[in-house]
Amino acid sequence: MNPLLDTLQPYPFEKLRKLFADVVPPPALAAISFGIGEPKHATPSFVLDAYRTALGGLAVYPATAGGDALRAAAADWLTRRYGNVEVDPKTQILPVAGTREALFSIAQTVVDPTRGDAVVVCPNPFYQIYEGAALLAGATPWFANCLAENGYACDYAAVPAEVWARTQLVYVCSPGNPTGATLSLDGWRELFALSDRYGFVIASDECYSEIYFNDTPPLGSLEAAQQLGRGFDRLLAFTSLSKRSNVPGLRSGFVAGDANLIRPYLLYRTYHGSALSQTVQDVSVVAWRDEQHVVDNRAQYRRKFATVTPLLAEVLDVRLPDAGFYLWADVRRTGLDDVAFARALYAQTHVTVLPGSYLAREAAGVNPGSGHVRLALVAEYDECVAGARRIVEFCRRHARA
């Protein structure tokens, strides 16, 4: 067996199952889960129609590089979405089976396993795939804390120069999971300068980019690079249809950026065996080319957040995030830590939230997820509001006890 498998930690939802293993929630209350970030809005009917039409594509082996139509649709979407971003669909776009597998496999491509001192820098708290990808590539994860006092931005200034000198890959998540924070142009300027100095690759996870709450969409990494006149050297952006189009089971996304990275990444993926079926490609083209369903989807999230955020703010320290579909709530004013809060809430209200400490690691003497819980507002409006009201009553009841 690969001994590196022993370095992996249990996934947050495995920890949550163990936390709830001996808990019997009130049977009279319907279960409401804010735990898993799985989109629950209906898949658009035109996407389902396109899937039925494209079923003939299951009869052929797909090319790992994807077809011309899919790469062109992805490139066109980048230009529409970010305005000044233009990429060559033949050399700077690569279809992938969703961002999860791509974010994992890019570390296996980029990290030099012959170097025993390789480092991968991750945000903290973070999406656990980053850590697992680093470990299985033979690198050491280094966690850059994202704290409230910094607006939940990564504190890159706290990373020692000797760590940067060993860094081969940096994961960025903007909009962030779980905090919802986005990286500013100044933040990108700082990170690009570090990449230029030390030569590491940037993998920018942008899967939440289409869910935001004002008229200014989140800045993308490729957009930032062009605004700063830098180009795409050592930069790859990862995005998918899962959240944008409510098709998490389609497993379709793409990577865009540095052609000198796309080329070896395609070679890796040719052996890895993760090509998108022609059926998935055809459906993806249809989804990437339509924006109205994305506008409608965003409106549903805006309505939920506009109602739920002020409700919860009555009893918890929570604010509207920059973007994404998570609320990152500080529960310490209840007198409970995040794990005790999640367990008691489930036991008394049948509502599931994810302890923030499960999404982070201790770094610089703190676990930045401690004292927080993540709420994924992915269910329909009425269910999210009902769950929020149960949380409010739970907190008030706990305060009276």
The structure's pTM equals: 0.97
pLDDT, average across residues 91-107: 97
pLDDT, average across residues 155-166: 96
Largest CA distance in the chain: 64
Quote the pLDDT of residue 46: 98
CB-based contacts of 52, cutoff 8 Å, min separation 6: none
Kindly report the backbone phi and psi dihedral angles of residue 48, in degrees, each rounded to the nearest multiple of 5, phi listed first. Answer: -65, -40
Q: Is residue 401 over pLDDT 70?
A: no
**CA distance linking residue 86 with residue 80, whole number of Å:** 10
Tell which residue, 363, 391, 359, 386, has the closest CA to residue 180: 359
Q: Is residue 399 over pLDDT 90?
A: no
**CA distance linking residue 319 with residue 124, whole number of Å:** 19
Kindly report the backbone phi and psi dihedral angles of residue 19, in degrees, each rounded to the nearest multiple of 5, phi listed first. Answer: -60, -35
pLDDT, average across residues 309-316: 98
pLDDT, average across residues 240-266: 98
Quote the pLDDT of residue 113: 85
Domains, the chain, with CATH or none? 3-42+293-400 (3.90.1150.10), 56-290 (3.40.640.10)
Written in H, E and C, the secondary structure of the chain is CCHHHHHCCCCHHHHHHHHHCCCCCCCCCCCEECCCCCCCCCCCHHHHHHHHHCHHHHHCCCCCCCCHHHHHHHHHHHHHHHCCCCCCCCCCEEEECHHHHHHHHHHHHHCCCCCCCCEEEEEECCCCHHHHHHHHCCCEEEEEEECHHHCCCECHHHCCHHHHCCEEEEEEECCCCCCCCCCCHHHHHHHHHHHHHHCCEEEEECCCCCCECCCCCCCCHHHHHHHCCCCCCCEEEEEECHHHHCCHHHCCEEEEECHHHHHHHHHHHHHHCCCCCHHHHHHHHHHHCCCHHHHHHHHHHHHHHHHHHHHHHCCCECCCCCECCEEEEECHHHCCCHHHHHHHHHHHHCEECEEHHHHCCCECCECCCCCEEEEECCCCHHHHHHHHHHHHHHHHHHHHC
**CA distance linking residue 254 with residue 261, whole number of Å:** 14
Tokens of 380: 């329909």
pLDDT, average across residues 230-235: 96
pLDDT, average across residues 236-253: 97
Quote the pLDDT of residue 116: 82
Tell which residue, 294, 278, 302, has the closest CA to residue 377: 302
Quote the pLDDT of residue 137: 96
Quote the pLDDT of residue 247: 98
Tokens of 374: 């993540």
Q: Report the amino acid identity of residue 259.
A: A
Tell which residue, 334, 380, 332, has the closest CA to residue 356: 332
Residues 384, 325, 299, 307, CA torsion sign: positive
> Within 10 Å of residue 218's Cβ, how many Cβ atoms?
20
**CA distance linking residue 164 with residue 157, whole number of Å:** 11
Is the CB of residue 204 less than 8 Å from the CB of residue 221? yes
**CA distance linking residue 235 with residue 192, whole number of Å:** 9
**CA distance linking residue 281 with residue 70, whole number of Å:** 6
Percent of the chain with pLDDT over 70: 100
pLDDT, average across residues 54-79: 97
Q: What is the mean pLDDT of the chain?
A: 96
Q: What is the CA radius of gyration of the chain?
A: 21
pLDDT in tens, 321-361: 999 999 999 999 999 999 999 999 999 999 999 999 999 99
Tokens 């790859």 sit at which residue? Answer: 236
Quote the pLDDT of residue 400: 61
